[in-house]
Chains A and B, each alone.
Chain A
Amino acid sequence: MRFTLNGKVVNVRAHPMKRLLDVLREDCHLTGTKEGCGEGECGACTVLVNGAAVTSCLVPVGQVRGARVTTIEGLKRHRALQEAFVSEGGAQCGICTPGMIMTASTLGPSPSLDEIRSALAGNLCRCTGYGGIYRAVQRAGKKKHGGRL
């Protein structure tokens, strides 16, 4: 099974119905993608497939043949977002954080609060009440565009 993982072509031998989540964690040894529910509700396992956020617990690896898969380990060009998650309190226990950041990375520049709330509705966080996450995404959005911090 060939696909591009974080910019590199990988070839994985796995049952085509094995969850992408398990292939990433077990076959590719990338454990930054987390399992919170196994039913696509919590978003902790969010990765990007061809640039779109998906819950990797609901994706058979057979369906990413030839696709571009990006995980938290391969997230480039979003350092400002990651740093803002630290400084604004967007990460507490951290288990939802990789998935949350992956989804947030698909937002356009300078998203409004409403856009952030809509985009992140598929990522559950039980620690923060989401406030720190909104502030982190907004801060990173402004930074990216040279706005005032």
Chain B
Amino acid sequence: MTAPRALRIVGKSVPRKDGLAKVTGLAAYIDDLTYPGLLYGTTIRSTIPCGEIASIHLDFDTTGFTIVDVRDIPGRNVVALIDDDQPCLVEREVRHYAEPILLLAHEDRERLLEARAKTRIEYRPATPVFDPERSPKVFKRLAIDKGSLDEGFALADVVVEGEYRVPHQEQLYIEPNGMLAIPAENGVTVHGSLQCPYYVQRALRVVLGLPAHRVRVVQVETGGGFGGKEEYPSMLACHAALLALKARRPVKMVYDRIEDLEATTKRHPGVIRHRTGVTRDGRLAAMDIDVLLDGGAYATLSAVVLSRGVLHATGPYRCDHVRVRGRVVMTHTPPNGAFRGFGAPQTQFAVEVQMDRIAETLGLDPVTLRERNALRAGDTTATGQRLGRDTSALRVLREAVRRTDFRRRRRALAGTNRGLGLSLFFHGAGFTGAGEVKLASKATLELVERGVRVRVASAEIGQGSRTVHAQIVAETLGLPYDAVEIAQADTDQVPDSGPTVASRTAMVVGGLLQRCAAEMKTRLAGLTPRQYLKAHGPLSVTKEYRKPPEIEWDEEAYRGDAYGTYGWACDVAEVELDPDTCEVRPVRVTAVAELGRVLHPVMARGQIEGGTLQAVGYALVEQVVMRDGRMANAQLANYLIPTTRDTPAIDVVLLERPYRHGPFGAKGVGELPMDGPAPAIANALRHLGFDVREIPATPERLMELTRKGKGL
């Protein structure tokens, strides 16, 4: 993973731009901001999952309160996203628990608490649907077909079938959602904790009926996102803005943890069914896959989550005859949405457990089966994408097997309380299909006295975007790292670089910045910034996304190059079982990942470690308990994420194989590590004798498997 000698800054672990402010407590997050005349806002939400509002009663003295309901919306009552089906405030029909109905603001938070307690809403309840299999409404269907299933199954010696279930998962950024809206002349400014400034701006324009230049969105320091601040902030920003505009005063709305857990998005739960035809020697002859995701009450981003889900449903394997059918449906639960991995962790859990079951059926070891079928350069994926030389499935597999001495260790552990399992996986970097073309992202580089200023809409949410962008620009321009400053993600100051999602910030936006920097270098023609400014005046360079010519995607047929490139990884998990309690201790996870080019080793490792632990939580402990459409365990004492003592040793191995369209060869890294640990852990439990097909693999579930004779 050593970078070529020519690189001075890229590939080095330079100090992160936001480091000092964060370790001294000076970094200002949304709840740290205040304004003169500030009001606090709160949301009155539905307490039934399905029905109609019959009446609203405000049993308190409303003097001094600002009260907003659906009639106060000057524009359209919709949180603009894809299908525009989610209202900003309920008009009559309630589709889920904790749906926003009424907004209140007051300068005294105690009065707000009292008012909340004295706001009564009466309903005409209707019968909710919680089981996605019985949903009356399909938000989106997708189909991928390759070859002919009949031909494929005719070639197969054995058919293995399986049904796999994955749960809700809460992003659990440690900073809950928050927004602060300030009325401006003829418009509004909204500051907030968010990932996508321009998504929020568009939502505000639609709800407020204002043109873009009257709506300013500023991202402040954001305490984690993981997808959870991709779409929901649009809703909250609209609420804060409606209150602020009505009150003509600044309004801050910061959710407490309970509200954040009950009302905001989660990872889509799903049921994935596999029917796989294999030859006796372990070649995949036919893959028939059905993906069902629970979208919750509104479409939000479900269609794109499903898209990524089905595009990763076969795992990183070659197979000539594939059918994937996917659908995401409505239930009367809070909408599910973006969460790191975005559909791929769900479907790759299923295929990777299915692979171990196939290996078991054939009497092959899990490595051999994967070696026989792993995608290689020149192979085609299920959508017919022909893979390039940066196809590293075999390489990461072999490296992980070598590092962990997988086969021998697995034999050595047989009969003990420890199990060893692996998973092989990939993750498409950047937007799916033609997404990047539609986005047409822009980035701007501006010359300043001390160097340059980066103007992009990418949100620093902990992943290190400011640092990586500065590295790319400094390296390209031949300037010191400290000579690059990063403008705040403020729609008045930065162009639309697209959302901070989909592992695209380093690869796509970083790529735009590399092009900006290259042009600026030519324009500078050897002058320092100061000299240039003196001689020629201001200089700024803006670049727009350019599709690499060889990438072709047919959205209608769902054929072609689903992603520009993929990250590849293999996880090996070792777990230890307590036979008395069926508690599982993850002992060690070895994560081998190929990321194109490692721009910042410390941060890349941090991405892999952090994603891996989120996925360990997904596999073993994290559980949203839904009762009558309501999250019943909406407290951190009851929705548990891993602590230091639940964390395995995580060995990270970073491999490089530069991607020719990424800056310095970089691919996306953020989501990849979320996809593999859950199946690796499930397969380690399989090694221990547990037929795990559903996560989280809680002690209760494992105990139940033991009782049914499917464990130990």
Contacts and interface: CB of A to CB of B under 8 A. Distances in A.
Given A120-B644, A126-B226, A72 B606 contact: no
Interface stretch (B117-125, B534-542, B634-642): B634-642
Interface string A21-49: 00001000011111111110110100000
Contacts of B13: 87, 89
Instruction: Give the 10 A-B CB pairs with smallest separation, nearest first.
Output: A32-B25, A95-B223, A93-B462, A94-B22, A129-B609, A86-B19, A92-B462, A72-B25, A41-B636, A129-B613
Contacts, number: 162
Contacts of A96: 174, 223
A37 to B, nearest CB: 4
B23 A36 contact: no
Given A37-B257, A126-B614, A118 B226 contact: no
A122 B545 CA distance: 44
Nearest to A132: B606
Interface string A119-141: 01111111111111000000000
A41 B18 CA distance: 26
Contacts of A89: 13, 602-603, 605-606
B609 A35 contact: no
B15 A86 contact: yes
A121 B462 contact: no
A91 B32 contact: no
A121 B645 CA distance: 6
Given A116-B644, A124-B643, A129-B613, A92 B29 contact: no
A117 B643 CA distance: 9
B612 interface: yes
Interface size grouping (class) on chain A? 35 or more
A82 interface: yes
B629 to A, nearest CB: 23
B25 A92 contact: no
B222 to A, nearest CB: 7
B660 interface: no
Contacts of B16: 86, 91
Task: Indicate the member of A33, A83, A121, A126 with the most B CB atoms within 10 Å.
Answer: A126
Given A98-B25, A126-B174, A38 B257 contact: yes
A125 B21 CA distance: 18
Interface string B290-328: 000000000000000000000000000000000000000
Tell which of B24, B256, B463, B641 has the most Cβ of chain A within 10 Å: B24
Contacts of B636: 36-37, 39, 41-42, 124
Contact of B224 (A71, A87, A126): A126
Contacts of A118: 644-645
Q: Which of B28, B257, B602, B643 has the most CB of A within 10 A?
A: B643
B609 A128 contact: yes
B29 to A, nearest CB: 6
Contact of A92 (B26, B463, B645): B463
B606 A130 contact: no
B612 A129 contact: yes
Interface residues of B, number: 56
Nearest to B589: A129
B221 interface: yes
A38 to B, nearest CB: 6
Nearest to A81: B23
B462 A94 contact: yes
Interface string B219-239: 001111110000000000000
Contacts of A44: 174
Interface string B612-641: 111000000000000000000001110001
Contact of B19 (A73, A91, A124): A91
A129 B610 contact: yes
A42 B174 contact: yes
B232 to A, nearest CB: 16
Contact of B174 (A31, A72, A88, A125): A125
B647 A93 contact: no
B563 to A, nearest CB: 25
Contacts of A32: 24-26
A20 interface: no
A39 B602 contact: no
Given A37-B636, A44-B174, A86-B15, A128 B24 contact: no
Contacts of B610: 92, 126-129
Contacts of B652: 131
B702 interface: no
Contact of A34 (B24, B223, B605, B608): B223
A101 interface: yes
Contacts of A92: 224, 462-464, 606, 610
A3 interface: no
Contacts of B25: 30-33, 71-73, 98
Nearest to B639: A41
Given A31-B32, A120-B644, A94 B18 contact: yes
A56 interface: no
Interface in A61-96: 71-73, 82-83, 85-96
A25 B29 CA distance: 12
B324 to A, nearest CB: 32
Nearest to B257: A37
Given A92-B464, A93-B175, A95-B175, A85 B23 contact: yes
Nearest to A125: B174
Given A42-B636, A94-B221, A122-B643, 5 more contacts: A37-B635, A86-B19, A93-B174, A131-B652, A132-B605
Nearest to B21: A94
Interface in B125-184: 171-176
Nearest to B254: A35
Nearest to A22: B109
A41 B637 contact: yes
Given A89-B605, A124-B643, A131-B605, A95 B463 contact: no
